[in-house]
Amino acid sequence: MRDSLADKILINVNSILLILFAASCILPLIHLFALSFSEQSAIFSGKVGLWPVGFTSQAYDKLLDGTRIISALKNSIVITLVGVILNLIFTIICAYPLSRGYMYGRRFFTLAIVFTMLFSGGLIPGYLLVKSLGLIDTYGAIWLPGLVSVYNMLVMRTFFTNIPEELVESARMDGGGEWTILWRIFLPLSIPVIVALGLFYGVGHWNSFFNMLIFINSADKQNLAVMVQQMIQSQSILQEIGNLSPEDFKSITPESIKSAGIIVMIIPMLIVYPFLQKYFIKGMLIGAIKG
């Protein structure tokens, strides 16, 4: 069946719009990458576009040696890894019983959980709650409030609901209990959606900024997002770097240092995503078949 003229026009317009959208996302990152590897004179004269001019890695050398970016990077990795593990464990524990039709009060608990998507206690009550639990200036204040995302839990619950009931019945006939069914049947079949939701949680933790500012007071516990934001806002970033010599001030610009910090922050996610892409697409499509 041949496409009509209207279909061809629609496809071409969509393709152009998608290309423009992709370019608007990618080109600024390429420009930052070029700035981070360009020499001072080229940056000041505005000659840097999408390719480094006067290639130099001095901005990265001084950034890694003269700032706390390595410590902040380690903090971000810890926050993300531990946070994702906790998120997935409690999301699975919450989604599994809600996917079983024989659970007593299933509809009530589902509606009560969905209610929290529309209404919340607010910022000040949330802060007072975290403070009363003694979690201020600990990573528990980052992990606990967002332990389960309602949207992600609903996606996983839908995925569990779509698993054939015959598999569950055969496991029961073999003497399997609820934990055995969850561990031996549901989890192996749910790898795509688990990876997809893990990516969602991971990006959220990696870019965690607002909660870090509110709950974390110690500078040595700050993550990469907060540190890079402080670098971008700083008007004297070069003076704050501890190992710069008078010659370095003549060869490094604040723009190159800030660009290098942003690149260091986004590179880990750019490396991880291609390996998870196939699971991400499959998991989100299957998990959203019916609700």
Query: Residue 256 in contact with residue 236, Cβ under 8 Å?
Result: no
Write down the pLDDT at residue 289: 47
91: which residues sit within 8 A by CB, 6+ positions away? Answer: 148, 149, 152, 153, 156, 197
List, in order, residues 6 or more apart from 211 with CB less than 8 Å away: 141, 142, 145, 146
Number of CB atoms found within 10 A of residue 282's CB: 15
Centre a 10 Å sphere on the Cβ of residue 71 and count the other Cβ atoms it contains: 16
CA separation, residue 74 to residues 19, 68, 202, 220, 224 (Å): 35, 10, 15, 11, 8
Place of tokens 């079983």: 100
What gap in Å lies between CA 276 and CA 103, rounded to an integer?
A: 33
pLDDT tens for each residue of 108-120? 888 888 888 888 7
Q: What percent of the chain has pLDDT over 70?
A: 88
pLDDT surpassing 60 at residue 1: no
Q: pTM value? A: 0.84
- Mean pLDDT over residues 156-164, rounded? 86
Question: What is the domain class of 57-287 according to CATH?
Answer: mainly alpha
Torsion, CA 148, CA 262, CA 25, CA 37, rounded to 10: -160
Average pLDDT over residues 58-74: 83
State the alpha helices, DSSP H only, in the chain.
Answer: 5-36, 40-44, 58-66, 69-99, 106-118, 123-132, 140-143, 150-161, 165-173, 178-181, 187-189, 191-206, 210-215, 224-233, 237-240, 254-287
